């Protein structure tokens, strides 16, 4: 959409689509009425006070935070609620994990190890720790499906390593890492290493048991990834791990993240967690079934399409489908689909507006033109089979039309 062009003008030009299907859940998404209704009283009826102040509205606000942390403790099998710190996004939580640990270990000039396909909210603070604090940052390569191999990771960890950060599930291609094995390998080389995993795209899709993952020291969550409101992130920090706050200001209920907590959004996040886990297996099964219907439908009808990430469904997040459409630009396909009511993202969800190829897709060996032709779909329990069938039909027609216009098409 160019500057000055309104949504209304676009609808007048193209007409309203017969159906709208939203797959861009990596970036943001639908917040169900149950979550919205849970938040509303906390704006003006209950818990609207500062959670650190000793009056009734403050106590109510603190109780709301406490109840949310208690639910997370139960769902994740953590030791205590004091191990959870609220931020205002997953990006902030990742920054706190990386830079907070670096500040706590400043002066050591140790090594920070990340995978080549980490979220940029891990890679960029690691690079800042290198340039500002003197740490050495190394990126572990991945295989063609995005997996970090234990024997390869082992080669990058040594006695100088202070932090290793490996995503639980990759946000673009859905690769499910074996975090239990990877964290064990790291600790066997150096028990003093702090192991962090960004689990924002795993939470609500995979079972996470921190009692079993004894070598995981820090873990990141994000509210909007499970149909909660935007504006809530969580960093789990195992007892005994020391971090320095990266923000300074008036202390609040959160020791590591000063400022007034956004209590209504935290309450909304709690409700989203309840909904995601009330029928966890059913929700995951529905995501997977709809995802498979989408992928199988597109692959059966559209030629020259590459599947990015793991082929084995057991090793891929149940909601993730990342496909590269050859001989067509992903951005053009995104716009074409949008005009027909199918909403997706192209390339890297974090860099699509600057038209750079995804660092994740390049890391698994995709060529620049293959990365530029990638489209990310994420299914949810709120989609229907009719939504999926409409999307398959729409993608088929859009890809065919754009390929006829493309100078990249195969018959030229």
Active-site positions read 350
**What does the alpha-carbon distance between residue 126 and residue 240 come to, in Å, rounded to a whole number?**
22
Is residue 269 within 8 Å of 64, Cβ to Cβ? no
Residue with tokens 């939580």: 93
Backbone angles phi, psi at 110, to 5 degrees: -80, -170
Indicate the Cα dihedral angle 192, 193, 194, 200, nearest 10°: -150
CB neighbour class for 169 (10 Å; exposed up to 12, middle 13-18, buried from 19): buried
CB count in 10 Å sphere of residue 180: 14
Query: What is the dihedral sign for C-alpha 354, 234, 229, 29?
Result: positive
Q: Which of 269, 142, 286 is nearest to 205 (CA)?
A: 286
Q: Are 240 and 101 in contact (CB under 8 A)?
A: no
Q: Say if residues 146 and 172 touch (Cβ distance below 8 Å).
A: no
């Amino acid at each position: 959409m160019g500057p000055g062009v309104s949504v209304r003008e676009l609808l007048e030009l193209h007409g309203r689509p017969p159906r709208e299907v939203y797959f861009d859940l990596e970036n943001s998404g639908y917040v169900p009425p149950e979550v919205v209704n849970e938040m509303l009283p906390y704006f003006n009826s209950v818990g609207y006070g500062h959670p650190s102040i000793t009056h009734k509205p403050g106590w109510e606000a603190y109780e709301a935070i406490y109840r949310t942390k208690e639910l997370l403790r139960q769902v994740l099998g953590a030791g205590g609620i004091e191990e959870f710190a609220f931020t205002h996004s997953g990006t902030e939580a990742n920054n706190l994990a990386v830079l907070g640990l670096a500040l706590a270990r400043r002066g050591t000039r140790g090594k920070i190890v990340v995978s080549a396909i980490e979220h940029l909210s891990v890679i960029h603070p690691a690079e800042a720790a290198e340039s500002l604090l003197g740490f050495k940052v190394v990126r572990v390569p991945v295989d063609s499906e995005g997996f970090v191999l234990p024997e390869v990771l082992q080669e990058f960890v040594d006695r100088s390593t202070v932090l290793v950060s490996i995503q639980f599930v990759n946000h673009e291609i859905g690769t499910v890492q074996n975090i239990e094995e990877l964290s064990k390998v790291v600790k066997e080389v150096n028990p003093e290493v702090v192991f962090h995993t960004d689990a924002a795209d795993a939470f609500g899709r995979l079972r996470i048991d921190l009692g079993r993952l004894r070598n995981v020291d820090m873990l990141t969550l994000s509210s909007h990834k499970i149909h909660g409101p935007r504006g809530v992130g969580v960093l789990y920090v195992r007892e005994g791990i020391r971090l320095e706050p990266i923000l300074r200001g008036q202390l609040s209920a959160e020791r590591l993240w000063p400022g007034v907590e956004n209590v209504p959004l935290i309450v909304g996040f709690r409700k989203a967690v309840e909904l995601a886990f009330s029928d966890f297996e059913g929700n995951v099964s529905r995501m997977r079934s709809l995802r498979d219907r989408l992928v199988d439908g597109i692959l059966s009808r559209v030629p020259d399409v590459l599947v990015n990430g793991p082929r084995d469904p057991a090793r891929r997040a149940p909601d993730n489908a990342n496909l590269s459409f050859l001989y067509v630009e992903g951005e053009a396909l995104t716009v074409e689909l949008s005009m027909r009511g199918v909403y997706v993202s192209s390339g890297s969800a974090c860099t699509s507006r600057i038209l750079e190829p995804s660092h994740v897709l390049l890391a698994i060996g995709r060529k620049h033109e293959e990365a530029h032709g990638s489209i990310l779909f994420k299914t949810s329990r709120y989609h229907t089979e009719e939504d999926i069938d409409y999307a398959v039909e729409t993608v088929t027609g859009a890809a065919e039309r754009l390929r006829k216009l493309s100078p990249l098409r195969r018959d030229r």
